[in-house]
Structures are given as C-alpha cells and as structure tokens.
Amino acid sequence: MAKGRGGKAAASNIIAFQGEPGANSDMACRAAFPYMTTLPCPTFDAAMGAVQAGKAELAIIPVENSIAGRVADLHSLLPHTKLKIVAEHFQRVEHCLVALPGASLKSIRTVKSHVQALAQCRNFLKKNKLQPVVHADTAGAAREIAEIGDASVGAIASSLAARIYDLKVLAKNIEDADHNTTRMLVFSREEAHPDWRTVQCMTAFLFRVRSRPAALYKALGGFATNGVNMVKLESYLSGARFEQAMFYAEVEGHPEQANVALALEELGFFSDELKLLGSFPTNPFRRKGWDAPTRPGT
C-alpha cells in the first residue's frame, strides 16, 4: 500500500485511480485532492473495488472527454456497485510527446499511448507522420519505452509521467484542441450530504424503462413538467437479449427538493428499475471554466 509523509497511509487518506503512476487520472487526484495519497490500479473495477474493500477512501474515474467523447468502461460497473458518487472534477488534459533522453522528433517513428490520448492528438501525429500504437495506459506507455530503450519510439503522456520515468519532453500541449478536458466522477462508500439550500447540486441515477411504446417519453415527462433540468442522458444495452436499454442520467437538483422528488417519483411509474447513484455539489467549472477552482467542494 502507498505510504504518506508520516509512514503507512491510512485508507481514509487514499484515493484510487486506474492507471500507472503519472497517468492523467493520477494528476487529477493530485489536483482535486492534494492532501491524499494516490493508489494506482490496473482497471476501473479494481479502483472502485479498492474503495469497496476499504483499501481507499475514494476513487476517481473518467467518464467523458471534450474531444474523444464518452469513456464507456464505467457503465458496465454502475449497475452493480454499492459506491456513491460524491463529487465531480474537470481535469484539463495537457498531452506531451515524451521519449528517451537523446531522442528527437526526427528520430521518433511510432508513438504509444491510450486510445483516447491518441484520438485527442490525431492532428499532431498526422502532421509529423508518426504511427500510433494503442497501449493500455498513457503512463504505462511512458514506462514501457523507458524500459525498452528504443529512441525511435515515443509516448503520449503527462509531464508528470516524464519526470517519474526519466524521459524527455519533446513537445508540449500536442492535443488537437485547447479545450481538451476530461470530466471525472469521485466515488465513495458513504453518500455525500450537500445542503441543497445553499449549494447547487446534481443527482445521478440509472433507470430502465418498461418495454412498451413511448415509455421513455413518459418517463422523462415528469422532469419537464416539474422544471428539472436534465444535463446528461446516455443509453447502453446490457444483457444478452438486446431488448431493453439501461439509461444513465444526471439532473440539476437534489432528491430532497420537491420538484426533483416529484420527477423521480413519476419516473418510477414507468421504470422497471431505478437506482440513485448519489447527489453531489456542482463543480464551479461548469459556470466559469478554467477561471474557477476545480477542487470538489470549493
């Protein structure tokens, strides 16, 4: 287990993430929770499992990127988890091309990284005629090229990964758009209890509508009639029969607010399944962008 400044860190001071040290999720942990010790995990399931098992207090999981879109892996875990969403964090992604000391942009032929990072730097790779190679993790790609010792291979990773693995940064901010931002959700065993009377909140939930005509239309009607703004709605199929879709949704407000409670009650009439995943404070980034602090709860 990771160690803190005072020796072995308590689980209450540990935040888990998917990836190797230096991954963008590692940087997000350090930005959002600088007082906590990070715990690298091989998969999203393992990161959330560390929280469920009491090995970590929190887990931070990416859910969508402003360039590459949805990170789909999380959706298969949500129906089964007992964890609650307690915060959101927006991480500005600043990709670097990293390589061995002594390498140059001219010597690089192939570039390894996570498929999302490669997609976010497509223009840079094309312009410099670099062959993308998919790797499981950005920081893992950096570690691998450091171990292999081939000056013709680079990686797209963070500046933190370059420092950790003693690599040279050949180019900074190589992402295709300067708004490249990843939204992450923070999971905990305990629910957050934001005071909706003083704090703007969001509520996340899963639901499955009954297999009948206009079921989704009727299920969502309560949010319109009660003045509840739905900011996110995603569908995905689960199970072998491909008949009924599961929906992940986020709305503005808290279930203790009368209009939200009424909307959720009406949703329940038209749903075979409804699972509340948590209510949490809205991150100031939504209102002010990068001029606002991005630490959850600030």
Q: Structural domain tally of the chain? A: 3
| In a shared domain, residues 60 and 10 | yes
| In a shared domain, residues 151 and 267 | no
Supply the DSSP string of the chain, one letter for each residue: --EETTEEPPGGGEEEEESSTT-HHHHHHHHH-TTSEEEEESSHHHHHHHHHTTS-SEEEEEEEETTTEE-GGGGGTTTT---EEEEEEEEE---EEEE-TT--TTT--EEEE-HHHHHHTHHHHHHTT-EEEE-S-HHHHHHHHHHH--TTEEEEE-HHHHHHTT-EEEES--SS-TT-EEEEEEEESSPP---TTTS-EEEEEEEEE-SSTTHHHHHHHHHHHTTPPEEEEEEEE-SSS--SEEEEEEEES-TTSHHHHHHHHHHHHTEEEEEEEEEEEPPTHHHHGGGS--STT-
Whether 292 maps to a domain, the answer reads no
| In a shared domain, residues 100 and 75 | no
Whether 286 maps to a domain, the answer reads no
pLDDT at 132 over 70: yes
Could you tell me the pLDDT band of residue 70, with boundaries at 50, 70 and 90? Answer: confident
**The domain containing residue 130 runs over which residues?**
96-171
| In a shared domain, residues 30 and 7 | yes
Whether 213 maps to a domain, the answer reads yes
| In a shared domain, residues 28 and 127 | no
Q: What is the pLDDT of residues 146-192, one digit of tens each?
A: 999 999 999 999 999 999 999 999 999 999 988 889 999 999 999 99
Whether 293 maps to a domain, the answer reads no
Whether 223 maps to a domain, the answer reads yes
Q: In this predicted structure, which of 28-37, 96-105, 279-288 has the lowest mean pLDDT?
A: 279-288
| In a shared domain, residues 76 and 185 | yes
Whether 287 maps to a domain, the answer reads no
pTM score, whole prediction: 0.86
Could you tell me the pLDDT band of residue 238, with boundaries at 50, 70 and 90? Answer: low
| In a shared domain, residues 81 and 61 | yes
What CATH number corresponds to the domain at position 128? 3.40.190.10
Q: What is the pLDDT of residues 196-227, one digit of tens each?
A: 999 999 999 999 987 788 889 999 999 999 99
Name the percent of the chain lying above pLDDT 90: 72
| In a shared domain, residues 37 and 157 | no
Whether 267 maps to a domain, the answer reads yes
Average of per-residue pLDDT across 217-238: 92
| In a shared domain, residues 69 and 119 | no
| In a shared domain, residues 102 and 83 | no
Q: Could you say which of 140, 156, 191 is where a domain stops? A: 191
Mean pLDDT, the chain, whole residue set: 89
| In a shared domain, residues 74 and 186 | yes
Could you tell me the pLDDT band of residue 1, with boundaries at 50, 70 and 90? Answer: very low
Q: In this predicted structure, which of 37-46, 121-130, 214-223 has the lowest mean pLDDT?
A: 214-223
